[in-house]
């Protein structure tokens, strides 16, 4: 049961962080991605903060034989850069630049009941299902 409580609390903290930092505001994200005109540099601080906290935590976590709430770590085993990875990254980047949303902030933004966010999430989910069927 504690695994679910910790998962819930982690998600809650993450969603508050995304909301407070402005990562759920599409116009702010598009402003951050627009480095050539009116660049909004504020999200750099969010990213640097996240990277610092992750790096510090990872230093201690990697020394453990397993996570606290599971029997093993689930790490990616694929190390090569292939066409599928490049195509996926390009499509993700284009979608992020056009909408100002990526999956985490979009899920948090569902709480606003904004029709554009709902359409984005439905489209993203449908596209993920289609891609999963095509590439399995």
Going from the C-alpha of 130 to that of each of 85, 93, 111, the distances in angstroms are 16, 19, 25
**Residue 49 neighbours by CB under 8 Å, 6+ apart:** none
- The reported pTM is 0.74
Q: Specify the pLDDT at position 54.
A: 92
Chain segment 40-76, per-residue pLDDT in tens = 898 899 889 999 999 999 888 888 999 888 889 988 8
In the structure encoding, which two tokens stand for residue 83, read together? 């066409």
- Going from N- to C-terminal start, the domains of the chain cover 2-135
Nearest by Cα to 114 from 37, 25, 44, 20: 25
**Residue 103 neighbours by CB under 8 Å, 6+ apart:** 124
Chain segment 84-113, per-residue pLDDT in tens = 899 999 999 998 888 888 888 899 999 899
């Amino acid at each position: 049961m504690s695994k679910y409580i910790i998962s819930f609390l982690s998600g809650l903290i993450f969603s508050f962080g995304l909301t407070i930092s402005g990562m759920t505001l599409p116009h702010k994200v598009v402003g951050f991605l627009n480095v050539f005109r009116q660049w909004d540099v504020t999200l750099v601080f969010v990213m640097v903060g996240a990277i610092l906290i992750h790096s510090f935590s990872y230093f201690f976590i990697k020394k453990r034989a397993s996570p606290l709430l599971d029997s093993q770590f689930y790490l990616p085993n694929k190390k090569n850069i292939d066409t599928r990875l490049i195509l996926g990254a390009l499509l993700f980047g284009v979608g992020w630049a056009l909408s100002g949303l990526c999956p985490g902030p979009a899920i948090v933004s569902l709480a606003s009941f904004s029709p554009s966010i709902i359409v984005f999430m439905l489209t993203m989910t449908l596209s993920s299902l289609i891609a999963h069927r095509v590439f399995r």
